[in-house]
Amino acid sequence: MRTAKKQRPAHSPELTVFCRQVRKRSLENKQALGVLHRNTLTANVMAVLRQELDSMVRCIFLLSISDRRYRNRLIADAVNGRQWRTPDGKGKITDRAMVELSSKLHGWTRNVYAFGCGFIHLSAFHDYPNKDPFDSLTPEERNDITQYLRSYHGFAMDSATKFHDIKRVLPGVFDKISSNLECYLKALEEDPGLTE
């Protein structure tokens, strides 16, 4: 006797486009990261990691919203290039607010995101061959990065570890963020509250 195959819920056209956009960005990020890492362009590797983390943070934020109409509105806004706004439409949803929320789930997110911003924006971090970016971290920031690398990548980082020492684990960091991102996208797709 055949059992019926579980049907995935049909989701809104906007969610289909949103997930397609995020997955395309992630694929391009993975390809770019490989090229950049092979050519030892570490600042750009960090910038790509930060982009992938940005996608993950946005998906976590969407999943945290229990008001499905509001969540659908944000997804439609993302697809149509509009700024995300608060439920009343009066305020903007900031990157900071999304990062803070994701940090409640993943304690490392805030500091890794902030560290990555140093490579997105022109900063002293771009002088990393001469001035180690880790030297500018607070003990809390360094501890969060240390804990993350130890827990998820088996990398033993201590107070003597320099930025150039972590280069070899950066592709693994990307893969971990990317796989988490895919899980969040699937959760969005499988949420019955987001069906038509």
Kindly report the pTM of this predicted structure: 0.86
Q: Where are the domains of the chain?
A: 13-190
Q: What whole-number distance in Å separates Cα of residue 79 and Cα of residue 56?
A: 16
pLDDT in tens, the chain (196 residues): 555 555 555 578 999 999 999 999 999 999 999 999 999 999 999 999 999 999 999 999 999 999 999 999 999 999 999 999 999 999 999 988 888 887 676 667 777 788 888 899 999 999 999 999 999 988 888 888 888 888 888 888 888 889 999 999 999 999 999 999 999 999 999 986 554 4
